Amino acid sequence: MIEYQSNAFNGTLTGNLLVAEYSGGDRILSLSLDGSGNVIGSREVESGFRDPLDLIEHQPTGRLYVVDISGITALTPN
């Protein structure tokens, strides 16, 4: 899990927690938080991974790197 800090993706993910859902969902979820840190919403960012293990954000570009059992996938903002 990471806190996304870049303004890429039109700022829609900035400040959200991104969660790698291993096995059960095989996807990346974005959790929106309120001012107290409570989860107020969630949505799927990307799916189709094979057991994602970890996430890394390259802050200058907003690119996400997802490590799963089959390798590393880069998600690049449009």
3-state secondary structure of 60: coil
Position 10 scores a pLDDT of 87
- Does the pLDDT at position 17 exceed 90? yes
Percent of the chain at pLDDT > 70 equals 100
Q: How confident is the prediction for the chain on average, in pLDDT?
A: 94
Q: Tell me how many helices (H) and strands (E) the chain has.
A: 0, 7
Q: What is the pTM of this model?
A: 0.89
Reading phi first (left if > 0) and then psi (alpha if -120 to 50, else beta), residue 18 is in beta
**47 Cβ contact list (under 8 Å, min separation 6):** 25, 26, 27, 28
pLDDT of residue 9: 85
